[in-house]
Structure 1
Amino acid sequence: MNLKKTIVYGASTLGLVAVLAACGGSDAGEQTPSGLGLTKLGAFTHQGGEGSAEITAYDAASKKLFVVNGAVASLDVLNLSNPAKPELLKSITMASLWADAGAANSVAVHQGMVALAVQAIDKTKPGRLIVLRASDYAILGTAVVGALPDMVTFTPDGKTLLLANEGEPNSYGASDSVDPEGSISVVDVSALTLSSANVTLAAKTADFKSFNSQKDALIASGVRIYGPGASVAQDLEPEYITVSSDGKTAYVTLQENNALAIVDVATAKVTSIKPLGYKDHSLAGNGLDASDKDNAVNIRTWPVPLLGMYLPDAIASYSVAGQTYLITANEGDARADWLGYNEEARVKELTLSPALEAFKSDAQLGRLNVTTSLGAVNGVYEKLYAYGTRSFSIWNAQGQQVFDSGDQLEQLTKDLPQAKFNASHSDNKQDDRSDNKGPEPEGVIVAQFGQKHYAFIGLERIGGVMVYDVSQPSRPVYETYINTRSGATGDLGPEGMHFVAADKSPNGKPLLVVGNEVSGTTVIYQINLKY
C-alpha cells in the first residue's frame, strides 16, 4: 500500500481528484495534473429524509441537475447555475409520468434527454424507461422494460440506452410468490429528438433463458444460483452496467450471484457469465475486522477457511493501451429480508467444524455475518463465506482479476476523526459494522486527466470517497480520501457520484456531485487541478 498522499478531512477544502461518469468520455488530451484538490461549493437538502438523494445527472444546456428522490418517488430538479447555491426548480412525481409508477431508481442525461428507470408499484411487474426533455420535462418517449429496472445508462454516443432489470421476487414458497426473470433492456433511441412527443420505443431484451440448461455447470464454476426453486434466468439479478468506450460491449454486475454478465449491445445478447471467485482472508493483506464486540480495531487475517464473496454493486470501465479494464465496488448483499428465505446467519449460530469452532467467540468470528448457502457438508460448516470483500477490484475484459485492494480501505479509514472506524451511516459508534461488510464500498466511477486515470470509490457506511490512481491497472496507488460527515450528522451514505466537465460546468470548473442517501443531501464540489 502506497500512502504517498495524506488523508484529508472536513467539509471545505478536500484533496480529491476529478471524476468522470463511467459511461462518459475523458480529458486525455489535456496536460497531466501533478495534484488535485476539491472545494465544497454548496449543498441541497431534499424533502423526504433518508433515500431522498440517490443518483444524479447534469444537463449542461439547461444547467439543471436531476436527482432521484426515492423517499417520495420523485425526480428533483435543481438549478445549478450557481453551484454554490443549488435551488429546487421542480419535483416531478413518477405518478404524474406513469399511472403505475413506483419509484425512479436511476437517471442518466445525454444532450438534453433525461432517461429514467422507473419500477412499477408492484416491483415484479414490468418497469418503464421514460425519457424527458430537460428544458420543460415533457415526455419524449417511453419503453416497457423488465421488472425492477435498477440502473440506466447511455452508450457513449448517446444512441442506445441500457437498463439493468433486477427482477427481485416478492417472496419464496408462498401461494402468491412471483419471481420475475432478471434481464438487460437495450433501447435504440437514435431516432428520438428533442422535438419528439411521447414516442413508444421498442426495447430488446438480453435475457438469461439460454443459460437455464447450464445451471449445474454455472454453480460448479462459482456462480451463486440458490433461490429456492428458481431457474437460472429467475435467479440472476442485474445490478449495474458499464459500457466499453466503443459502445459495443456492456458489462453487468450480477450482485447476489457473485458474477459478471457480458452483453453484445448490437444484438442484445448475453454472451457469457463470468464467476468472480472468492477472496481468501487467510492471506497477508486480505485481513478484516470481523467483530463489533471486541472493543478494538482488529484488522487481521484468519487461519481458517474464511472466504469473501465479492458481490459487487457499481462497476466502471476504462481503457489503458487499448485494453478495457473493469473496476467493481465489492459491497456485498444478502437475500435476508424476503418472505420464505433468509440466507444470512452469524457464525456462532452455525454447526461448525472443529477448526472453525475454535474461533466462534464474539470477539473473533462469532458475530460475523455469513451465508448459509455455501460451505456446509452434511450440515456442518467447513468453510465460511462472508458478504462483500471490503475492497475494490480491477478485472480485465474477460472477467479475470488483475488487482484487489485487499484490506486497504479498512486500514486507511481506521484513523479517520470525523467518523469512528467501521461506523454505520446512521450513527457514529466505532466498530458497529465490523461484523457486516465493514466500510461497504458501493459506488465507483473513473476519470482520465492527461495520462492518469483515477478511480473514486464511495464508502456507504463510514462515508466519504476513496481515490486511487489506477493508471497501471495491476498496481493502483492510493491518492486521497475525503469525508464530509461530522460524527452522526453531515453527509451520510454516499450513493451516486457524477462528474461535470469544465467545458460543461456552469462556473467553468470541473465539478463533482455526490448524492448522499442517508442524509438526503446532494453536495457540489469544485475540482481544482494542480500542474
Structure 2
Amino acid sequence: MPRALVSGLLTTALVGITALAPAVTAHAATARAAGAIEHSAADPALTLDPVGVHRTGLFEESAAEIVVHYAAQQQTLVVNAAAGTVNVLDSSDPADPQQLFELDSAGIAAADGSTVPAGGVANSVAVREDGLAAIAVEHPTKTEAGWISFFDLSGAKPAALGAVRTGALPDSITFSPAGDFAVVANEGEPAEDYSVDPEGSVGVIALPDSVAAPEQDDVRLAGFRAFEGDALPEGVRIFGGREDAGTGTPEFPVAENLEPEYATVIGERAYVSLQEANALAVVDLASASVERLLPLGTQDLSAVDTDVSDRDGGIGFDTWPVQTFMMPDTLKSVSIGGSDYLLTANEGDSRDWDGYSEEIRVKDFGTDGVAPLCESVAAEAGMSIEELQRDEGLGRLKATAANGLSADGSCYEQIHGFGGRSFSILDTDGAVVFDSRDEFEKITAEAVPDFFNSDNTESSFDDRSDDKGPEPEAIEVGSIGEKTFAFIGLERVGGVMVYDITRPDDAEFVTYFNNRNFGVEDLGADLDAAGDSGPESIVFVPAAQMETPAEGVAGMLVIGNEVTGTTTFYHVKSDLAEDRPGDDPSAPGTEQPSTGPTPTDDPAPTGSPTDGAEPTATPTSTQAPAPGPDGGSDDDSDDRAGGGPLPRTGTDAAILAGIGALLAAIGAAAVWLTRRARC
C-alpha cells in the first residue's frame, strides 16, 4: 500500500474521531460547571445532578427563557427571544439534548386577517399533551396588539396551523389543566417615553379539541375597567401612568396601569400576577372577566433580617424600618390534601422608563425636590436620619418615591422597597400560608460566601444587596411519591432552591444547587466555562414522562438560563418513588401536581409575611474543587496514585475508553500498514 494512502487513511480516521471526541468530552465536562455549588439540609429528600446542556453561544440576549416539555415526542421547547423563535430540542436523552428545529411565527396568517410580521418576538410557549403548541408573539412595536401562533408537533414534522390576535405585549401563555383554554398575560407596558400606555388584559382563548388553531371569535380579553375609581381594592398599587409622566390624562387610568405578568389555572379560574401593582387578578374563564384583585402586602424588614447595602464591607444582616412590596413574577398552582395553593416567586420590579421612574435610593430622599424622610422613620431604627441614610446603612437601598408620602406631602413616613427576596405559598384568597423570609439570603451566604448577592453577568461580592438581593424569578412545583416540592430559581446569584412543601404551612429547605462557575469573573468572556446564569424558567418532568429514566432518577428538571443562553437538564435523584414509564400515566405535570398528604390542623399564618421559625435542618455544603493547570483538581486528596484528574465514571467513561481503544487500534494498524508499505 502506498505510504501516502496509509497517511491519508490515518489522518481521515483521526479527524473523524477528533470531531467526535470533543462532543463527548465537552458534554461530560460542561454539564456540571467547575466549582458548582451544592448545599443541602441534613439527609435531603432529593438531589440535583446536571447531566446535559444545550448552548446557544449567546450572552445576555435572552436566548433561553421559557421552557416546556412535550412528553409524547420527548421534546423540550425553549423560547429564544434573541432570534424571536422557539427552539425545539430532542431531550429523549437529557445527557445529550440536540436541537431539532425552530418554530418561527413570522409569515403565519392570523384569523383576523393580519399576518405575524418578521421582527415579532416570541415571549412564551405552551404545549398540550396532544402536540398543540402555542407561542405568545409580541408586536415589533410592543404597544400594539400581539399574536398567539399555533403549531402541530404531533407528526414527524412540525406544521404551522395559524394564529389569532390578542392584547398588547403578550408576555406569557399557559394552558388550563384540561387543555380547553389558553390564558395569556397581555402586559401592556408603556412606550419608553410614555407617549402610549396600552391597557393590560388577560386573554382567554377557547381551544378546539383537535390539534388545530382556534378562530378569532374564540379569543376574549378580560380587562380591568371595572376597577376604576372606588372599585379598586386598597393596597393595589396604581401609579406612574401617563398622567404622572405628563403625557396625557387617561380615561381609564387603572386599566392602563395594571400589567399582567404570569398566569396559572385552578379549575375554572386563572390567577394572574400583576407585578408592579403588587397584586393578583382572579379571572373567571367561562365569562372571561376579572372577578377580584388581591393585594399582596409587604415583607416587613423590621422583623426580617436583610442585607440592604452593597457598601457595608461584608455580609451584614440586620432589621430596618422598610416595608418592601412582594411583587411576584412567576406563579404556579398546586393541590395538596384537597386544598389549592398558589406559589409566588417574589422578585420585585420597578417602573423605570425614560418618561417616568419611581426609583430612588434612600439617601436621595430630601434632595432634588423630593420630600425628605419623616423623623419618625429614623426614630423607629433608633438613628438619626443622617445615620440612616449613610451608604453602609439604608442609603444605598433602592426604594420607590411613588408610595409612603404623608397626607400633607411634607415627608415620607414609610420607606417602601422592591421584592420580598423570598417565595410564598398563598391560599386562593391571597392569604399567606408560608413565606421563606430571609432564608434564601442566609442559605446563599453559607453556600457561596465569597460571592454573596453576586450579579448575574460578573462574579462579584455583595453587588445586589441594595437592589432586590437574589431576585427569585422562576418557580415550579412537582410531586415525587407522597411529597410535593417547590423549585425556585434565583435570577442574580443563580441556582435553584428546593423546598419540601408537603405541609404548605411548614415548608422546609431541602437543597440548593448552583451550576455556575464563580471562578469566571466575566461570564460573557468565557461562556463555555461559565456554567449557567439567570434562571428564567423551570419545568419539572416526572420520571413516568421520561423516556428511559435511570435507576434512582425520580424526574427531570429543565432550566432556561437567559443570561448564559443555556438550557440545562438535571436528573432529580430520590428514593421516594420508583416511577418508570408504564406506571400510572396521571403523574403530575407542571400546573397541577397530584394530591399529597393533607396539611395538619395547625393554624396557618395569614395576611402579610410575619415572623416565623428559622429552618431547623443543619445544611451541608459541597463545592467541586477548582480545576488545576492540567485540568485536574487543585485539591489532590482524591487524585489517583499516579496524579492527574479523577477518572470518569459511567457512560462517559465507557465512551471515552472505547474511543481510546479505537485510537490505539488505528495506531497499531497504521504502524502495520506503514511497515507493509515499506516492504
Structures share fold, TM-score greater than 0.5: yes
Q: Name the CA distance, whole Å, in 2 between partners of 1:238 and 1:482.
A: 30
* Secondary structure at the counterpart of residue 35 of structure 1: coil
Counterpart of 2:327 in 1: which secondary structure?
A: coil
Structure 2: which amino acid aligns with 1:309?
F
Deviations 1:222-263 (A, max 9, x none): 11000233511110111111111xx31111110000001111
Give the alignment partner of residue 516 of structure 2, picking from 474, 485, 498.
485
Question: How many angstroms does 1:107 deviate by?
Answer: 0.8
How far residue 450 of structure 1 moved from its aligned partner, in angstroms, is 2.8
Matched ranges for 1:10-159 at <5 A: 35-50=45-60, 51-97=62-108, 98-99=116-117, 101-111=119-129, 112-134=131-153, 135=155, 136-159=157-180
8 Å CA contact retained: 2:169, 2:189: yes
1:208 aligns to 2:233 (yes or no) = no
- Match of 1:224? 237
Match of 1:26 in 2: none
Q: Quote the offset at 1:62 in angstroms.
A: 2.2
Equivalent-residue separation in structure 2 for 1:200 and 1:233 (angstroms)? 23
Pair 148,275 (structure 1): closer, same or farther in 2 beyond 3 Å: same
* Matched position secondary structure for 1:376: coil
Mapped partners of 2:294, 2:313: distance in 1: 39
Name the counterpart of 2:203: 185
Q: Between the two proteins, what is the percent identity of the paired residues?
A: 41
Partner of residue 249, structure 1: 269
CA distance in 1, matches of 2:388, 2:357: 24
1:350 matched to 2:372? The reply is no
| 1:530 match: secondary structure | coil
CA gap 1:419/1:151 in 2 versus in 1, 3 angstroms: farther
CA 15–416 in structure 1, closer or farther in 2 if over 3 Å, else same:
closer
Distance 1:77 1:15 in 2: 32
1:375 aligns with 2:404: yes
- Aligned residue-pair number: 494
Offset of residue 375 of structure 1 = 1.2
User: Kindly tell me: are residues 138 and 15 of structure 1, through their superposed partners in 2, closer, same or farther at Cα, counting changes over 3 Å?
Assistant: farther
State the Cα deviation string for residues 195-214 of structure 1 (Å, max 9, x = none).
Answer: x4786562111111111233
Which residues of structure 2 form unaligned runs of 5+? 1-31, 109-115, 244-249, 367-372, 379-384, 521-529, 577-679
The letter of the residue matching 2:460 is K
Q: Which is strand-richer, 1 or 2?
A: 1
- Aligned ranges 1:313-324 → 2 under 5 Å: 313-324=329-340
CA distance in 2 between partners of 1:374 and 1:96 (Å): 45
| Correspondence for 2:545 among 504, 510, 515 | 504
Question: In the alignment, is the contact (CA less than 8 A) between 2:324 and 2:418 conserved in 1?
Answer: yes
String of CA shifts for 1:481-504, please: whole Å, max 9, x gaps: 110001142100101111222222
Q: Is 1:262 paired with 2:291?
A: no
Per mean C-alpha deviation after superposition, the further-off stretch among 198-207 and 74-83 is: 198-207
Q: CA RMSD in A?
A: 2.3
Conserved in 1, the CA contact under 8 Å of 2:37 and 2:516?
no
The secondary structure found in structure 2 opposite 1:328 is strand
> CA offset at residue 418 of structure 1?
8.6
- State the shift of 1:61 in Å: 2.3
Query: CA–CA distance in 1 between the matches of 2:300 and 2:419?
Result: 12
What is the alpha-carbon distance in structure 1 between the residues aligned to residue 539 and residue 339 of structure 2? 24
- Would the alpha carbon gap of residues 419 and 203 (structure 1) be closer, same or farther in structure 2, given more than 3 Å must change? farther
Letter of the 2:255 partner, please give it: A
Q: What whole-Å deviation, never above 9, does each CA across 1:284-335 have from its counterpart, x for those lacking one?
A: xx12100001111011112x3x101001001111122322111111000010
Secondary structure of the corresponding residue to residue 365 of structure 1:
helix
2:541 and 2:433 mapped to 1: Cα distance? 29
- 1:266 Cα deviation from its structure 2 partner: 1.4
SS of the equivalent of 1:210 reads: helix
What do residues 68-95 of structure 1 show as CA deviations (whole Å, max 9, x unaligned)?
0011212112122322111122233343
Answer whether contact 1:224 1:258 (CA < 8 A) is retained.
yes
CA distance in 2, matches of 1:185, 1:299: 43
Q: Counterpart of 1:498 in 2: which secondary structure?
A: strand
In structure 2, the CA distance between the partners of 1:418 and 1:203, relative to structure 1 (3 Å rule), is farther
Q: How many angstroms does 1:14 deviate by? A: 5.9
Question: Which residue does 1:340 correspond to in 2?
Answer: 355
Pair 1:321–1:417, CA change in 2 (3 A): closer
Q: Which amino acid aligns with 1:395?
A: L
Contact kept in structure 2, 1:423 and 1:461, CA below 8 Å = yes
What is the Cα deviation at residue 96 of structure 1? Answer: 4.4
8 Å CA contact 2:37, 2:447 repeated in 1: no
Bigger shift: residues 326-335 or 349-358 = 349-358
CA shift at 1:35, angstroms?
A: 2.5
Higher helix residue share: 2
Structure 1 runs not aligned, ≥5 long: 1-7, 18-32
Alignment TM-score, normalising by the size of structure 2: 0.70
Matched-pair contact (CA < 8 Å) for 2:164–2:214: no
Amino acid in the other structure paired with 2:236: V
Aligned amino acid, residue 314 of structure 2: A
Matched, 1:437 2:468: yes
Distance 1:223 1:154 in 2: 27
Residues 340-392 of structure 1 show CA distances to partners (whole Å, capped at 9, x for unaligned) of: 10100101111222343131000000000000001122242221101101111
**Structure-1 residue corresponding to 2:302:** 282
Q: Is the 8 A contact 1:418 1:486 kept in 2?
A: no
C-alpha distance in 1 between matches for 2:97 and 2:291: 43
8 Å CA contact retained: 1:15, 1:36 = no
Rounded to whole Å, the distance in 1 between the matches of 2:206 and 2:68 is 20
> Residues 402, 35 of structure 1: CA spacing in aligned structure 2 closer, same or farther, 3 A cutoff?
closer
Per-residue CA deviations over 1:81-127 (Å, capped at 9, x if unaligned) read 32211112223334344225521111111121111111100111111
> Match for 1:185: what amino acid?
G
**1:408 alignment counterpart:** 439
Match of 1:464 among 495, 506, 517: 495
Distance in 2 between residues matched to 1:248 and 1:402, nearest whole Å: 22
